Amino acid sequence: MRLTDHPLLQGELRLAGRLDGRFFDLLAALALTGSLQKAARAAGYSYKGAWLVLDAATALTHAPLVEASSGGRGGGGSRLTTEGQALLAAWHVLQSRHDGFLREQEAWLATQPTLHQLLKRMSMKTTARNQFAGQISAVNVGPATTTVRVALPGGAEITASLTSAAAEELRVQVGQDALALVKASEVVLVSDFAGYRLSARNQLAGTVSRVQRGAVSSLIGLTLPGGVAVTASVTNDAVDALGLAVGQPATACFKAYAVMLAVRE
């Protein structure tokens, strides 16, 4: 998976705390079509909903924003009043300035490399509860399968197994920043190995730091040395059987093929 850049900063502009972009889309469509019915449809309102939002805006501005027009071949219609036109023009100017402000702050963020990388990782949207940010420390290419090790802060490492074709497409290389994604359901917690060894490539020892119990299953947080957190989804029966509690040592185990690797474009 290759990560593409998206704006790190987003902000919604509202006037008087209530008049948002959708409302001004309604005004713009009304100015263009001269029909409240058409404007409502274009802005995603019902006809009644458009009237209600216009009435609410009129109460804020203490001046009508829309007036009915009559006559002409097509009969009557609606149009913006002088106040409505002025408000729409002001919105366009403010929206442009607002966009410029966000671009300026984004440019400033680019001069803060640590914060910039942190926000980039935060901007990724995925259902995987575990997102481990690190740096690729080793790449072992095989005929069909490639294993990639990602070094995490604090000294722990995660191994991912992917097809060699996927590794070639991602252009993975040592020193590259990467995210290792692991679903909480793929993580098995072990509190006592009882002399056995597991085949799971990833075995991360830490301390239980959170037990969030649900109706059927619980989310268990495990903090590793260095502060990295791992989340496992465990049935309540298993929590009770293992006696999992905050402060208890445990090991998070998951196979290398359960790790999805993401690198930036």
Segment 187-229, tens digit of pLDDT: 999 999 999 999 999 999 999 999 998 888 999 999 998 888 9
The answer on pLDDT for 250 being more than 90 is yes
Q: What is the pLDDT of residue 4?
A: 45
Token digits of residue 83: 């106040």
Q: What is the pLDDT of residue 11?
A: 75
The model's confidence at residue 87, banded by pLDDT at 50, 70 and 90, is very high
Q: What is the pLDDT of residue 184?
A: 92
Residues 101, 107 contacting (CB under 8 angstroms): no
Spatial separation of the C-alpha atoms in residues 165 and 201, rounded to whole Å: 21
Segment 109-144, tens digit of pLDDT: 778 777 666 666 555 555 678 988 889 999 999 989
Q: What is the pLDDT of residue 190?
A: 94
Q: 133: which strand partners?
A: 179
- Please choose, from the candidates 171, 174, 164, the residue with its C-alpha nearest in 3D space to the C-alpha of residue 139: 174
Q: What is the pLDDT of residue 111?
A: 80
Q: What is the pLDDT of residue 2?
A: 47
* Domain limits, CATH 1.10.10.10, in the chain: 21-108
- Please choose, from the candidates 260, 251, 228, the residue with its C-alpha nearest in 3D space to the C-alpha of residue 153: 228
Q: What is the pLDDT of residue 72?
A: 47
The answer on pLDDT for 8 being more than 70 is no
* Domain limits, CATH 2.40.50.100, in the chain: 126-264
Segment 26-74, tens digit of pLDDT: 999 999 999 999 999 888 889 898 999 999 898 888 889 998 876 545 4
The more confidently predicted of residues 128 and 180 is 180
The answer on pLDDT for 12 being more than 60 is yes
State the CATH architecture for 126-264: Beta Barrel (2.40)
CATH fold of 21-108 reads Arc Repressor Mutant, subunit A (1.10.10)
What order of strands is seen across the sheet that includes strand 188-190?
188-190, 249-254, 202-213, 217-223, 229-235
The answer on pLDDT for 264 being more than 90 is no
